[in-house]
Amino acid sequence: MSSKRQNNMTNFIVDVQYKKILDSNGYSLPMILKKAKLPPDIFDFEPVTMKKNQYYSFCNALGEVLSDDALIKLATKESITTSSPPIFAASCSKDGLQCIRRLSTYKKLIGPVNWSISESDTEVSISLDCDENDILPMFFVKSEFLFLIALLRRSTLKDIIPKVIYMQKAKDDTLFSEYSKCNIISGADNAIVFVKSDLEKPFISENSSLFEYMEPELNKRLSDLELDESVSGKVRTVLSEILSGGNSSIDEVAKKLNISKRNLQRKLQEENTSFQKQLNSVRKSLAIHYIKNTNFSAEEIAFLLSYSEINSFQRAFKIWTGKTVLQYRQNL
């Protein structure tokens, strides 16, 4: 199961848990960022994003600094599941096999890695690879494998044990071996192999309705990976993330993008658009998504789109579609 390749201009969302766990374990984030030659304020604005080469540099720096114990805490922390939409969506699967398939599709949203799945009647192998001429940092590889093992164990309440783990640069790593409870073997690829029946154990976290709600937005984000890094595209991405929290102001978007309000307006003008046009575009897209995929009332949709009054939303929707919310829903 192959993945689309990403270029070095793609921005990947980095989990803010890195900062919290590093701080709680006495590691200096500024020192690690300096070692990785990254901007010292890169974690000051959410969502935290890095380009591919920055991501690899960050992982290499973490690998040089973190102890094995800290790595395990970082990679297996439960909050990683709830704080990352792609991972949370995968945790809503019916079993481990479906979870891994979803991760192979959506994990690229949060990291420059391709998951390739190979299945037989009795085994499932997940191989990690990246773009040609790139080498995955071993810290990153171990983190991915630890994360997956922890997710499967937590979601099934079973002690899921891989059959074997292959690593390009395997070394004596006692804590990693103790946590995985399987053999770590040097190989040509970075791969983890599970007994298929273990991946067919039911997830206690299964929630098909919630996944169906999240799926359209995740697919949209995948499509956005193929687009250029336009300012208007970045504005739409931020708006999609903050609208449900009751915020639709240009000031908040400018803050998230680490740019002044005036510069943001100027850059949008250079792209022959405006903040209001982008806000209307996101609201229209989300409104239609909610109507098609949920049973939310007009009042609930207006709230999720950060309208202070339902009448304002209803007037806008009539302008966008030529129909009322009720008429639009009845015609589906």
Average pLDDT over every residue of 62-86: 81
Domains of the chain listed by start with CATH number: 12-199 (3.90.1520), 230-330 (1.10.10.60)
Residue 29 to residues 22, 25, 133, 325: CA-CA distances in angstroms?
A: 7, 11, 29, 49
- pLDDT, tens digit, 9 for 90 and up, residues 28-50: 889 999 999 998 888 876 667 78
Say if residue 253's pLDDT is above 70: yes
Instruction: Pick the range with the lowest mean pLDDT from 29-38, 178-187, 217-226, 313-322.
Output: 217-226
Residue 329 to residues 132, 211, 215, 299: CA-CA distances in angstroms?
A: 47, 21, 20, 14
Helix axes 275-293, 208-225, angle to 10 degrees: 150
Q: How far apart are CA 289 and CA 296, in angstroms?
A: 11
Peptide bond into 40 cis (omega under 30): no
Q: How far apart are CA 213 and CA 210, in angstroms?
A: 5
Say if residue 6's pLDDT is above 50: no
- pLDDT, tens digit, 9 for 90 and up, residues 135-177: 788 888 999 999 999 999 999 999 999 999 999 877 767 888 9
Say if residue 317's pLDDT is above 90: yes
Q: What is the CA radius of gyration of the chain?
A: 22
DSSP readout, 90-126?
Answer: HHTSSBHHHHHHHHHHHGGGSSS-EEEEEE-SSEEEE
Instruction: Give 24 or 162, the one with higher predicted confidence.
Output: 162
Single pTM value for the model: 0.65
Average pLDDT over every residue of 216-230: 73
Given pLDDT bands bounded at 50, 70 and 90, which one contains residue 272? confident
Residue 109 has a pLDDT of: 81
Three-state DSSP at 293 gives helix
